Amino acid sequence: MDDSRNLPAQSILDTKHLERHHSADGILQVYRIPGQGHLRYHIQAPFYLSMAYNLSGLQNSMDSYFSISPCGKPFYNSNLSKIPHAGGNSPLHQHDYFEFLMVLKGEVIQRIEDKEYLYTAGSCCLINRNIIHTERYVGKCTVLFLALSNDFVKELIDAGKCSLFAVEDAPRQNAVFRFMEENIHTDEQKDYLDFFPTFQNTESAQMLHDFGDKLIRTLLFPSLGSTYLLKGSICQIFSYLGNPVQYHMVPVKLHSGADFLIFLRVRSLLNDTNGRMTRTELEKTLHYSGNYLNTIVKRHTGMCLFDYGMTFALEKAKQLLETTTLSVSAIAEQLKFGNKTHFYKHFKEKYGVTPQEYRRGLSHAE
C-alpha cells in the first residue's frame, strides 16, 4: 500500500512556475518521496482541468499554461519563457488521481515508465494512479489534461444508481468507467487506456476541443445546475471515447513490448479499411515511417505490411461472398483489387478455392 499521500507536506516544487501555479489555486500539492526519483502529485479538488501550449514550435518547450477547477481561481501564464526552467517538459511524476491526456493540436510524446509513445491530434491516454510518466512537447501543440479524483469518479459511477435511463448505468455500459472502477481498488495494477480515432473519424480533435471548451465555460461561469452540467460533460467524453465507431480503445499493460501498442494501432486501422490502407496513409496517420511500421508488423505476424493488410481484405471478401449477392467483380472493385484476376489469385492462395467456388460451396452446404 502506497502511503505517500500521508507524508508531511514536504513541498518540492522544482520550478518557480510550479510554485506560482500551486500557490495560486492550492489545488495540487507536490511531494518528493524519499528514495524515489519522481514526484508525487496530490489533488485537493474533485477534478482539475489544465491546458498546455507549445506555440513556438521549439522542442521540449511549453510557453503557455491555463488551469481551472471548481475549487480555486483560474490560473494563466503566457510568458513562461521568462521563468527559468519552467518552459520544459514536466518532471517524471505519479499522482493519486486519474489523468486524461487529450491532444487537441500537434504531437506529444508520452513517456510511460520506461517506454515512449507518440500521441497525435485527436488521440488520448488515460493514466491510472500507479504509473510513473511524463510528457515531452516535440513541436507546436495544444494538450488538455483532465485530472479526476477517486472520490469524483465514485460519484460519477454511483450516479448511475439514480439515473433516469438504463443506458446511464455507467460501470456496466462504458469501458472507461469499468477501467477506473477496477483501478480504484488497487495500488498495484499498472495499466492505462490508449485511445485513437477510427479511420472514418476525421473530426476527433475538434470534438475533443469542443468538450474541453464546454467544461471551461461551465467552470468559468457557474450557475444553478453547473455541477450536473460538468458531470454530464465528462460522461459524454467517456461515451464518445468508448464508442467503437469513433475510437479504438486499447488497454495496455506495462509488460507489453515497446512496439506492441503501435502494432495494435496498425491492426485497428487495417481493420477499419478492410486492409486497403496504403503504407503512405499509415505513415501519415501514425507519424511513423513505413519501414518502421513494416518491421513491427513482421515482428508480430511474420508477414510484411502488404501481406498483413491483404489478410483483412480477403477476410472481408469472404464475408461479402457469404452475406451478399454482390458479383465477384463488384467485390473485387469494392475492395480495391486492381482486377479480378489479381483478386482470384490472392483468394485462392488464402482459402484454396476461387471466390466463385467458395460461393458455390456455400449453396451446396445449404
Q: Can you give the pLDDT at residue 365?
A: 56
- 8 A C-beta contact, residue 120 and residue 103: yes
Are 203 and 325 within one domain?
Answer: no
Are 221 and 352 within one domain?
Answer: no
Residue that terminates a domain, selected from 258, 281, 306: 258
- Between 16 and 231, name the one with better pLDDT: 231
DSSP assignment, residue 139?
E
Are 172 and 294 within one domain?
Answer: no
Are 309 and 178 within one domain?
Answer: no
* C-alpha distances out from residue 191 to 127, 245, 262, 289, Å: 7, 24, 16, 27
Are 247 and 294 within one domain?
Answer: no
Q: Can you give the pLDDT at residue 350?
A: 95
Domain total in the chain: 2
Domain annotation covers residue 190: yes
- Between 98 and 3, name the one with better pLDDT: 98
The CATH code of the domain that includes 139 is 2.60.120.10
pLDDT mean over 16-30: 53
Are 294 and 152 within one domain?
Answer: no
Domain annotation covers residue 315: yes
pLDDT mean over 345-356: 95
Taking 60 as the threshold, does the pLDDT of residue 12 lie above it? Answer: no
**The whole model's pTM is what?**
0.85
CA end-to-end span of the chain: 60
Domain annotation covers residue 292: yes
Q: Can you give the pLDDT at residue 30?
A: 86
Taking 80 as the threshold, does the pLDDT of residue 85 lie above it? Answer: no
Which domain, by its residues, includes 70?
Answer: 45-258
Cβ-based neighbours of 165, under 8 Å, separated by 6 or more: none
Are 173 and 96 within one domain?
Answer: yes
Are 85 and 200 within one domain?
Answer: yes
Q: Which range has highest mean pLDDT (54-58, 130-134, 193-197)?
A: 193-197
93, exposed or middle or buried, with CB in 10 Å at 0-12, 13-18, 19+? middle
Residue that terminates a domain, selected from 208, 233, 258: 258
Are 58 and 85 within one domain?
Answer: yes
Are 228 and 352 within one domain?
Answer: no
Q: Can you give the pLDDT at residue 33?
A: 74
Q: pLDDT grade, residue 331 (50/70/90)?
A: very high
Taking 50 as the threshold, does the pLDDT of residue 309 lie above it? Answer: yes
- Residues 138-159 have pLDDT tens digits of 899 999 999 999 999 999 998 8
Q: Cell 494563466 appears where?
A: 76
Domain annotation covers residue 15: no
Q: Can you give the pLDDT at residue 171?
A: 72
Domain annotation covers residue 189: yes
Taking 50 as the threshold, does the pLDDT of residue 193 lie above it? Answer: yes
DSSP assignment, residue 15?
S
Residue that terminates a domain, selected from 205, 226, 258: 258
The CATH code of the domain that includes 355 is 1.10.10.60
HSE, side-chain direction, 13 A CA sphere, residue 36: 15
Are 105 and 215 within one domain?
Answer: yes
Domain annotation covers residue 66: yes
349, exposed or middle or buried, with CB in 10 Å at 0-12, 13-18, 19+? exposed
Are 238 and 342 within one domain?
Answer: no
Domain annotation covers residue 335: yes
Domain annotation covers residue 9: no
Q: Can you give the pLDDT at residue 186?
A: 77
